Every structure is written in C-alpha cells, then in structure tokens.
Structure 1
Amino acid sequence: MKALRLLLLWLCVACSSSDDANTTGNSNTFYKGMDLSFQSELEDYNVDYKDADGNSVELLDFVRSKGTNLVRLKLWHTPQDGENGLEDVKAYAQRIKSRNMDFLLNFHYSDYWADPGTQTPPVAWQNMSFTQVRAAIYSYTKDVVTQLKAQNTLPEIIQIGNETDSGFLWDFGRVWGSFNNNWGNYAELVSEAIRAVREVDTQNRVKIMLHHSSVENAIFFFNELESFNLDFDMIGLSYYPQFQIRDLDLVASKLNELANTFEKDILMVEVAYPFTLQWNDNQTNYIGSLDQTLIEFSPTPEGQKAYFEWLVETIKNIPENRGIGFCYWAPDWVAFDGNEVTSTQGTSWENQCLFDFDLKALPTFDVFEDN
C-alpha cells in the first residue's frame, strides 16, 4: 500500500509539473509569439505563403514548426468591417489550441482599432452612464471568456485593453489631457474586467496583462495605477523604433527599471522591423525612409534578423527572468490580390512582414527557431 501511495503521489506531481510547464510566467517558458489577427480576413483570399525554398505552406503549421508558441488575436465588440469578432476569434482559437500553442486574447473594448489616440467605446455602450458601462464591461468580458472556456480554448493570457496609455472607453475611462484626474474610473473599469475573468477562470490559469505603447513612458503609467492595487500579472509593451527612443542601451535600461520597480513579468507584445524600404502595392507604408530605422540595423532581411537577435537578448537580460518573450505584430499582413476595396487600400505593412515580396519566409524565422 505504501508503494502504491508513493506511486500515486509521483503521478500527481508529474501531472502538476506538466501543467505548470505550459503556464505563463514559468521560468522555462520564453514566448516567441505572433499576432495573427489578420488571418480571419486573409485566408479568404488564399494567400500563398511559402517557406524559404519557395514551397507553399499552411501558415499556422509553418510558424509553429519554426518555434512560434504563442498566438495573439484581437477582439472587437461589434466589428465595423465584419472581421475580428467573437466568432472569428473562437474559430481561430480552436486551431491555435489544436496545435498545442498558447493563446493571447486582446480585448480592444471597441468596434474598431484602439490605441493611445483612439479609444472609442463600442457603439452599443456609447449612450450609457458610467455605472452602466461598468456593468457592461463586466458582463461582456465574462460572456466572452465563458464561451472560450466552454470550447476548451481558455487563453493563457488576457489583455485588458489595447495600448491604454490614455485609458480606454473614452471618456468613461480616459486618463489623458483634461481627464488626468480620472485614474480612479479607469482603474474601476479595468477591475471589473479582471473580476469577470477571475470568476470564469476558477483554476487561476489565466494571466492578466495591461498594455502600454511606450517603453520609456510606461513607468509613469504604472506608477499612477499603484495605489489602486489592480489584480494583474504582467506588463505588455509595444516597441516600434520609429515612434520611440532609439538609444538601445536606454531601451534596455527602461525595461530593467520597469521590472525592478513593479516586479511584474514583461512581454514585448507588439514588435516589428522592416526588411526593406520598398513597397509591393500602392499603399504608403508606415516605414518608408532610413531615418525611421535604427542605425545599428539596416532595413534588409539580414538587418531585420539582427534586430530581433538584439531584442531577444535584451528581453532575456531583464532582471529576475522577468522578460518572458515577444510577439511579432502582423507578420502575415502581406500585399495580396483581394476584393476591390482591399486591393485599393492595400497594406501599409508588407515591408515589415516575415515574408518577402515573393511571400517566401525571411531569415528572421531563425530567431524563432533558435530561442
């Protein structure tokens, strides 16, 4: 009997260890992620992604084979363009989980793009009082997470708002300009969203992320939130060099300061870099000139790879193993032939993808494989 009890105990520990190994924040987990939110649209046009040798590949299988272990999806409440709604997210989440990859859900709490300059509430919430919006964010968040849990696709990470430097759900949770004394309302709305997640996630497996768009300014933001004791687990950051500090030593210093000050894990949840300054359609690109890049890394396939080698090293050097990985934003948003509207608008991102203009995989995939 004693031997049997010891065997059962060993099995329990082994199962527990196996579960923990897939849990966010484990010291053995380094996230090499991608935001693939455009796939719900791009798959309609049969975009022919290829490996480095020119062989056609299924995108999700290919990026997984190269080391991608996290996929981020954005969620819009009632999408203006019909994409990135809950049904899209639920369907793609099943595919992520079927490949044993982790899932990061990005609540925008908007019907369209949310960022520091635009945090428009869903149309359905715009005529509500603050009390009603507080109830709405709780019930909406809880419903989404409940539906994901019911189909066994509970995210490993949930992001409460997108690039919320200025708050979200303006003006209810706005903390910018004349609303700089509104931090209490912002914190209250965030708390309601977190409460909804915690109530569904009864095993406490989901990690909560708050997302700031700026490495250098995030310390101010999280300092403002300290007194509210928000129940979150990690700091998500964007780093696009054309918009932020370009002193690489200062970038590393700011990341280390964030980790030491707030004792939270840090995920570089939006990063990208160009492999060329050329374009492959009629749409002006976000990066089109040399002065938007870093002098240390040329806008070439080799320079893009070298940039990510530096980034990974910088993240891994964050104190106390607080740097847990990165997530490449829209590596798949290539120029393609679609419907009249899509083709006319094109993509402003094709020179920052991880596939070249022939849709062949770029050398930066080596960084995913090697780390």
Structure 2
Amino acid sequence: MLTKIELKSMKWLSLILLLILTGSGCKKSVKGETQIYPLPDPVGTYALGADVSWLTEMEANGKKFYNAAGEQQDLLKILKDKGINTIRLRVWVNPASGYCNTADVLAKAKRAKAMNMRLLIDFHYSDSWADPGQQNKPAAWVNHDFATLKTAVYNHTVEVLNVLKTNKIIPEWVQVGNETNNGMLWNEGKASVNMKNFADLVLSGYNGVKAVNPATKVVVHISNGYDNSLFRWIFDGLKNNGAKWDVVGMSMYPSATDWSAKNTQCLANMTDMVTRYGSEVMICELGMPVSEAVACKAFIKDLIAKNKSLPNNKGLGVFYWEPQSYNSWSGYKLGAFDDSGKPTVAMDGFLP
C-alpha cells in the first residue's frame, strides 16, 4: 500500500505532466499522430484583426512602417501594440505577380506565428480579386466541368492548408470564398443562376478545411453587413441546398456620416444570423477613408461593442482591411496609416 508521502508525490508528478502537455500545445492531427506546436495566446478570445495581405509586396517596393513616435518597426509589431491579435491573409491560386500565392501566404503566416498572432485564411478561388463584382475562375480551372470544379476547390483548399500545417501553422478560421454576394466561380457557381451549385462549392471548401483540421471554423463571407435581405437570401439558399458553415462573415465600409446607422442595421443583421442559423458572426473586413480617422475610430469601437454584445458569445471579432496601405497604395484610400507610414487615430479603435 502506498504511503501518504508517495501518493502526494504521484499527484505532483501528474500535475507537472499535465502542465507540460497543456503548455506545449499538444494536438492530434487528422491521421492521429501527435503534433506539438506553440498555440497563439490567447486562443478562443475575441479576435481584433487586420488583413495585411499586401505586406510583402509593399515591403518589396520599399515601403516602411513607423510607430506613433516615428520609430521604424515591423508592421506586425506596430499592429500588435495597437491591440491587433489576429492576422487575415488572402490566397490566390496562381497570381501573375506571385503575391498571395501559397508560398507568399506561408511567409506572412510564419511572421504572424512568430508574433504569437492568430490566423484567418481567405480563399478567393481565383488568380486575382474575387468580390461582389467579379468571381473569375482561375485560368487553370476555366475548362473544368462542374464536378471537376468541385474537386479543384477541395484540392486547392487542402493543399494550401497542408502547407501551413507542415509548418505547424493551424488557422483558427478559413473563409470559403471572398464576398460571395452572388456566389463564386462564375458562371457555374453564380448563386442567382444556380444556388445549388454555389452550395456544392461551399461544401467542397468546407470539407477540405475539415479534412486538414476539424477544429478550424469555416466562414462564408458576404459584403454589406447591414443588408439583412441579402444575407437571408444567401444563407437560406446555402442551408436549403446542403451547404455547411460555422461562421457568417461580413464586410462594413461606411462613411463618416452614415456609420452609426449602418452599425445599427448591422447589429440587427448579426442578431438575425445568430437566431436564424445558430451561426457565429465575424466582421472580416472594415474600412473608412483615411481622411476620416476620428470617425473611423468611433465606428470601430461601436462595431466591436455591437459584435461582442451578441448572445452566447457568438460575436467572434472584427478585422480592418489593409490598414497599413498609405500614400494610396494601389489607389486604395480606406487605410488607417497616414502618408508618413504611421497609424492614424483610427487604429486606437482596437485599444481597450
């Protein structure tokens, strides 16, 4: 029979072993083998995010970034000091420039991991921009029949996520499509033409994500987060045609004069997405003209509060889209850095 001293020693050994396993971020892969990699901290808390997909291209073109004191720093360090804990990265299939292809996404994801930041991956399923006005198939997929198109979505999703996984990077969220207001991979996947096809493509992406890491949450992303009729049309159509998702993603790009009204409408829409589908909700993109930084700060703080107010912690987070774009990089004027490469007061919207 064990003595009290021996029993206490065993308890302490068990506790130490538990702490070691917990702290190492021990995970089970799909195949069942144990993989150990550091997990971002804090996982599961509210996501304050930024899409910085332009980062490597901007750096290659000589752009530098500075904190409020004018000290040159890595962009991710500047953002983290502004409260950002999560990075969003878009993926293109075979972009002409190479930026946002798998290798470029991996390079940026490694930097985010090194900063202990979390990750949202955004599949466009295109060689370039996919948004409400264009959902062009990748050149390599143009002649695919629909069955092959579904397979291509699945394979591309798995391949990119496996590259990340091999580097011990596991996104917490993955978008299956970008601003798919009228479906994706037109014309076969155009929702207004064939909602069933769109639902099948979403399901292919969903299954690809879950095949690599079942715990990763799948996002379906629609713009105009204040437009409830649009969201009901899309998500009713997806649900009725067998698609699956975990998170409803939204974009919000109001002006300094209408942001308050738009946020109120967005809250009503977010609440409806929770009650109607049981979904979690994330603002995957937001922005406002850089010249309206003071209003933008108020807009961000209010939208965060509204997203956080959803029942049962269904509000997951908000993301600024390319805040670091300055001097109208690529003609974009909705960033949150001034012409000297420093964050504007808008980024203070993410601070407590």
How does the TM-score come out when normalised to structure 2?
0.85
Distance 2:297 2:232 in 1: 29
**For 2:11 and 2:197, how far apart are their aligned partners in 1?**
53
2:335 is aligned to 353
8 Å Cα contact 1:31-1:324 kept in structure 2? yes
**Which segment is superposed worse, 122-131 or 139-148?**
139-148
* Aligned 8 A contact 1:161 1:168 in 2: yes
SS in 2 for 1:154: coil
Is 1:154 matched up with 2:170? yes
Please give the alpha-carbon distance, in whole angstroms, between the structure 1 residues aligned to 2:77 and 2:111.
10
Match of 1:104 among 120, 132, 147: 120
User: Which residue in 2 is equivalent to 1:140?
Assistant: 156
In the TM superposition, residue 152 of structure 1 has moved relative to its aligned partner by 1.1
Name 2:215's counterpart in structure 1: 205
Identity over aligned residues, as a percent? 30
The aligned residue for residue 98 of structure 2 is 82
Aligned in 2, Cα 1:245/1:62: closer, same or farther, shift over 3 Å? Answer: closer
Letter in 1 for 2:344: L
**Structure 1 length-normalised TM:** 0.81
Q: Work out which of the residue numbers 34, 50, 65 in structure 1 matches 2:50.
A: 34
The alpha-carbon deviation at position 5 of structure 1 amounts to 5.2
1:257-268 correspondence to structure 2 within 5 Å: 257-268=272-283
Distance 1:164 1:247, change over 3 A: closer
In the other structure, the counterpart of 1:335 is: 327
Mark the runs of 5 or more structure 2 residues left unpaired by the alignment. 1-5, 28-38
Q: 1:11 to 1:232 in 2, by over 3 A?
A: farther
| Equivalent residue, structure 2, for 1:284 | none
Aligned to 1:8: 14
- What does 1:1-371 align with in structure 2 at a 5 Å threshold? 2-3=7-8, 4=10, 8=14, 12=18, 26=44, 29-176=45-192, 179=193, 182-201=194-213, 204-215=214-225, 216=227, 217-241=230-254, 246-276=261-291, 299=292, 301-335=293-327, 347-350=330-333, 352-370=334-352
Contact 2:130 2:136 (C-alpha < 8 Å) held by counterparts:
yes
Q: CA deviation at 1:11?
A: 5.1
Q: Which amino acid aligns with 1:77?
A: V
Distance 1:271 1:76 in 2: 21
| CA distance in structure 2 between the aligned counterparts of 1:189 and 1:109, rounded to whole angstroms | 10
Match of 2:31 in 1: none
Structure 2: how far apart are the matches of 1:326 and 1:68? 10
Any gaps of 5 or more consecutive residues in structure 1? 277-298, 337-345
CA displacement at 1:262 relative to structure 2: 1.4
Three-state SS of the structure 2 residue aligned to 1:167 is: coil
Q: Which amino acid aligns with 1:315?
A: N
RMSD over aligned Cα atoms: 2.6
TM superposition shift of 1:237 = 0.4
